Amino acid sequence: MKITDITFGMLRVPLKTPFKTALRTVDRVEDIVIMVHTDSGNIGYGEAPATAVITGDTHGSIVDAIRHYISPRLIGEDVANLNRLTQLIQGAMEKNTSAKAAVEIAIYDLFGQLYNAPLYKLLGGGDPVITTDITISVDYIDKMVADSMAAVERGFESLKIKVGKDIGVDIERVKAIYAAVEDRALLRLDANQGWTAKQAVYALQTLEDAGVRLELVEQPVKAHDLEGMRYVTERVHTPIMADESVFGPMEVVELIRMRAADIINIKLMKTGGISNAIRIADIAAMHGIECMIGCMLETSISVAAAVHVAVAKADVITKIDLDGPSLCLFNPVEGGVIFNESEITITDAPGLGIREIRGLEPLEA
C-alpha cells in the first residue's frame, strides 16, 4: 500500500452552544480534513483545527505545512513502514504540531486498514468502551449551573468547568456548581492559564476550606510558567494538571523532573500525532503519573484517533476529555467510533473505520 496523494477538505459543524474559555469564544467547529490516498484505493483520514492561541496553527499554516513540507516526503512511501513514516512527518519541520497530527492520524488509519484491524488493537488492545466528561463553558453563574445540571441529566458523570476569568467570581462559580451537582458528578476545573500562581493557590485553598472537592485543576497559570505551576502544585491538595504547558515528550520529561504538576493532559494536536502521544503515555507510566487525553474543537475523525490511543493506553490514560463530538450540533462522520453522549465505543472496523464525511467542502489543490 503506497501513498500516492494527499488532498484537503474543510469541515464546518455548528456547536450546540458557544464554547467559551478564558482564552476565546467559538461557535462552530471549522477543521481541515486531509485524505491520504494510496495505490490500493484505500484512503486514510486525518483532521486538524486551527487553534492559534494554543498551538499557533491556522488553517492556512496547516494546509501549507502539509502540502509543501510533509506531503512531498510521503508520496511513494509504503504504509507498512509506519515508524519510518512518523519520523518523516515529525522531521519535516519544527512545530506545526496540528498539521503533523492530521497526517499521522491518516497514516495510522491506513496502517489499520492494511492489517484489517481497528487501530487500538494494533496499539496493544484494550476494552473498546470509554467514558468522557463534557465541557461547561465559562459564563454567568446561573447559566453555568443550568448547563451543569443539564449535562448531569444527559448522563455525564464528570464535568469540566471552564474558569480563569475573575478570581472572586470563579470561586463563586465553582461553589454554586458543586452545591447544585452534589455528588452526582466529579468536577474538573480548567483555568486555561487565567490565574497567577498566587491567585490559583488562594482560589484552591479557599475552595478546599469550603469543603469543595475537585478531581483536578487544569493549567491554572500561563503556559510557559512551569515554576508557577510547581508553586501551585506544592501548596494545594487538589491535583494539578498541565495542559498548554506540555506539548511533546521533551516538555513532559522536564515537567516530571521539576515535579511541576501531578497529571498530564495529552492532546494529539499538541503532540504532533499518535507516535508522540504514545511516547508521553509511556514516559508518564514509567514515573507513575496519570494522564488525561483531551481534544481541541474537533469532530469524530481526529477524536476517534484519540479514542483508540486512550483504549490502548488505558492503564495510564485514566481520564477522558473527548467531548468534541458531543459539543457538535450533529455528527458529520459515519465511522468506526460511536459517540453516544458520555459513552464512546469502538467497533471492529479496520483503522478508524471512517466510511463517510457529510458536508466536506473540497479545498483547491
Which residue, 246 or 337, is less far from Mg ion as judged by CB?
246
Cα–Cα distance between 228 and 360 in angstroms, integer? 43
Which residue, 218 or 290, is less far from Mg ion as judged by CB?
218
- By the rule CB under 5 A, 243 interacts with Mg ion: yes
Q: How many residues bind Mg ion (CB under 5 A)?
A: 3
Q: Determine contact, residues 13/26, Cβ cutoff 8 Å.
A: no
**43 contact partners, CB below 8 Å, separation of at least 6:** 35, 36, 37, 110
Q: Determine contact, residues 15/329, Cβ cutoff 8 Å.
A: yes
Which residue, 109 or 133, is less far from Mg ion as judged by CB?
133
CA-based R_g, the chain, Å: 20
- By the rule CB under 5 A, 298 interacts with Mg ion: no
For the CB of residue 135, give the shortest distance to Mg ion in the complex, in Å: 9
Helices (H), the chain: 59-65, 71-74, 82-90, 97-114, 119-122, 141-153, 167-181, 197-209, 226-235, 249-258, 268-271, 274-286, 302-312, 324-327
Q: Interface residues for Mg ion in 36-65 (CB under 5 A)? A: none
In the numeric block, which cell numbers belong to residue 333? 462522520
Q: Determine whether 2 is an active site residue.
A: no
Cα–Cα distance between 206 and 234 in angstroms, integer? 16
- Tell which one of 57, 190, 215, 225 touches Mg ion (CB under 5 A): 190
Sign of the torsion formed by the C-alpha atoms of 90, 96, 101 and 106: negative
Q: Determine whether 267 is an active site residue.
A: yes
For the CB of residue 219, give the shortest distance to Mg ion in the complex, in Å: 5
Which residue, 92 or 307, is less far from Mg ion as judged by CB?
307
For the CB of residue 270, give the shortest distance to Mg ion in the complex, in Å: 10
Contact stretch for Mg ion (CB under 5 A) within 27-35, 214-222, 298-306, 344-352 = 214-222
For the CB of residue 269, give the shortest distance to Mg ion in the complex, in Å: 12
Q: Interface residues for Mg ion in 60-99 (CB under 5 A)? A: none
Which residue, 48 or 163, is less far from Mg ion as judged by CB?
163
Candidates 121, 160, 267, 270; catalytic one: 267
Candidates 20, 100, 121, 162; catalytic one: 162
Q: Is 364 exposed, middle or buried (0-12, 13-18, 19+ CB in 10 A)?
A: exposed
Task: List contacts with Mg ion (CB under 5 A).
Answer: 190, 218, 243
Q: Which residues are catalytic?
A: 162, 267
